């Protein structure tokens, strides 16, 4: 329509990025220093989070060796005062508990073990004979010092693995040695090292589950059930374990109390979480102040450019958008650089301490994603201040 005022053109995304990055490209030294300041703040946050998480992972690994997530279930007594029994399928039933990732069991066998068939019957050395499942050592974090552990093959033959103290009492430290067990000869296939999580195995002779049934009249009822579960779910597993392994008589199942180390572990986690949250917030505030300072100085120095753009038809909204985009790009560059520096610092320090390198997701998000809204907030005032300048005031300003 004739006489109508022209409408200002709208800036597309590509134009906004080009205009916003132009201010950064025109002052590379200042932008580099500002980005470095932001990067150092973000790197400090990422490094603190990463080093703390790596330290926590190492602590968790050490505490796991103490059995913080190990629960032991055993039969208690019936209402008549008799010794109860766990069902033969209790191991399979325990595996149905979702947080449980390892289950194994031993069963007491009514038999005695001797160095040879000439030893007096009463001289047993108090060595317990136990039927064991192949996965027992993994569940209790045990290890073999000589020979090998029971496997699917040896579990069906008259083979025995001796605990550390049992091997000393029997003077049978070498695989291939024969011992008199349950009235017949068994071959020693391995000797265990001490098992801190299950000390009852140190003074035991362990035979395969199937072999115990075949040669020693074992009734296949477990007498000790070992479970390992996610540390955060230990109490929940403990509450459902009796009803799961013995649905008909859950009150006849005794379950060990979770380790005190687990409570200490959780208290440590809570303390570290609060510390990391505070340090991360401080780092983000420092980064935001750096962006705001850089953008305010940029507005003061570029009044002539702002006045020229306004005189050529740029609207206040376009000026605001330009400086907001500059803030976002500046914060984004600082965030990416800070994450890279923080990860490298975490990896270097963790390597010197022989820790696993763990950089939590919150550190990555805090360094890359969270810096963008921080940059936008920090650049909001400079952008508004730039948009308020009139073309005449901006052009004649010293």
pLDDT tens figures, 225-237: 999 988 778 888 9
pLDDT tens for 372-393 read: 777 777 667 666 766 676 665 5
Alpha-helical segments (H) within 150-208: 164-170
Q: Which helix (H) or strand (E) holds 342?
A: helix 316-353
- Counting other chains too, the contacts that 255-263 makes at CB distance below 8 Å and 24 or more residues apart are 255/71, 255/72, 255/73, 256/70, 256/71, 256/72, 256/73, 258/68, 258/69, 258/71, 258/234, 259/66, 259/67, 259/68, 259/70, 261/63, 261/66, 261/67, 261/68, 262/63, 262/68, 262/69, 262/231, 262/234
pLDDT of residue 96: 92
The encoded tokens of residue 220 equal 């296949």
Q: Which two tokens stand for residue 155?
A: 């579990």
What SS3 state is found at 332? helix
Please identify which residue in the block is written with the tokens 């069991």: 105
Task: Judge residue 325's burial from the number of C-beta atoms within 10 Å of its C-beta, 0-12 exposed, 13-18 middle, 19 or more buried.
Answer: buried
- The residue among 284 and 327 whose pLDDT is bigger is 327
Q: DSSP for 14-55, please give it.
A: HHHHHHHHHHHHH-HHHHHHHHHHHHHHHHHHHHHHHHHHHH
Q: Is the pLDDT of residue 367 over 60?
A: yes
Map out the domains of the chain as residue ranges: 13-62+264-396, 70-259
What is the percentage of the chain residues whose pLDDT exceeds 90? 32
- The C-alpha atoms of residue 398 and residue 395 are separated, in whole angstroms, by 8
Query: Looking at the predicted structure, is the pLDDT value of residue 362 above 90?
Result: no
- Compute how many other C-beta atoms are within 10 angstroms of the C-beta atom of residue 75: 22
For the stretch 4-60, pLDDT in tens is 555 655 666 666 667 667 666 767 776 777 777 777 777 877 887 788 778 777 777
Model confidence over 248-296: pLDDT tens digits? Answer: 989 999 998 765 555 555 566 666 666 666 766 676 676 666 666 666 6
Mean pLDDT, the chain, rounded, equals 80
Q: Which residue, among 237, 273, 216, 192, has the nearest Cα to 100 in the 3D structure?
A: 237
pLDDT in tens, 107-146: 999 999 999 988 887 787 789 999 999 999 999 989 999 9
pLDDT value at residue 113: 94
What does pTM read for this prediction?
Answer: 0.58
Q: Is 21 exposed, middle or buried (0-12, 13-18, 19+ CB in 10 A)?
A: middle
């Amino acid at each position: 329509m004739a006489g109508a005022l022209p409408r200002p053109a709208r800036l597309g995304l590509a134009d906004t990025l080009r205009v916003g990055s132009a201010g950064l490209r025109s002052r590379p030294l200042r932008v580099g220093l500002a980005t470095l300041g932001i990067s150092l703040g973000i790197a400090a946050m990422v490094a603190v989070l990463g080093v703390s998480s790596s330290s926590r992972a190492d602590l968790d690994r050490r505490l796991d060796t103490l059995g913080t997530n190990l629960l032991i279930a055993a039969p208690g007594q019936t209402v008549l005062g008799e010794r109860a029994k766990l069902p033969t399928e209790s191991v399979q039933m325990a595996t149905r508990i979702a947080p449980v990732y390892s289950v194994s069991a031993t069963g007491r066998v009514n038999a005695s073990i001797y160095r040879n068939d000439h030893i007096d019957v009463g001289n047993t050395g108090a060595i317990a004979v136990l039927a064991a499942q192949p996965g027992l050592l993994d569940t209790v974090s045990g290890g073999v010092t000589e020979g090998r552990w029971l496997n699917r093959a040896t579990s069906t033959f008259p083979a025995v693995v001796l605990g550390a103290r049992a091997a000393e009492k029997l003077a049978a430290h070498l695989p291939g040695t024969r011992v008199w067990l349950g009235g017949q000869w068994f071959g020693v296939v391995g000797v265990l090292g001490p098992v801190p999580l299950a000390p009852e195995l140190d003074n035991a002779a362990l035979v395969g589950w199937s072999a115990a049934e075949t040669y020693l009249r074992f009734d296949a009822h477990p007498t000790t059930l070992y479970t390992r579960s996610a540390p955060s779910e230990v109490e929940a597993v403990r509450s459902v374990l009796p009803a799961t392994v013995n649905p008909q008589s859950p009150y006849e199942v005794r379950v060990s109390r979770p380790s005190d180390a687990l409570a200490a572990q959780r208290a440590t986690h809570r303390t570290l979480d609060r510390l990391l949250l505070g340090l991360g917030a401080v780092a983000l505030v420092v980064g935001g102040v750096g962006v705001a300072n850089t953008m305010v100085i940029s507005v003061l120095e570029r009044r002539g450019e702002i006045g020229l753009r306004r005189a050529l038809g740029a609207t206040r909204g376009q000026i605001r958008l330009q400086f907001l985009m500059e803030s976002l790009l500046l914060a984004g560059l600082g965030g990416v650089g800070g994450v890279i520096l923080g990860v490298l610092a975490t990896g270097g320090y963790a390597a010197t301490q022989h820790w696993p390198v763990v950089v939590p997701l919150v550190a990555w998000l805090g360094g890359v994603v969270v810096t963008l809204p921080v940059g936008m907030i920090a650049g909001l005032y400079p952008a508004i201040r730039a948009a308020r300048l009139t073309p005449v005031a901006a052009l004649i300003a010293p």
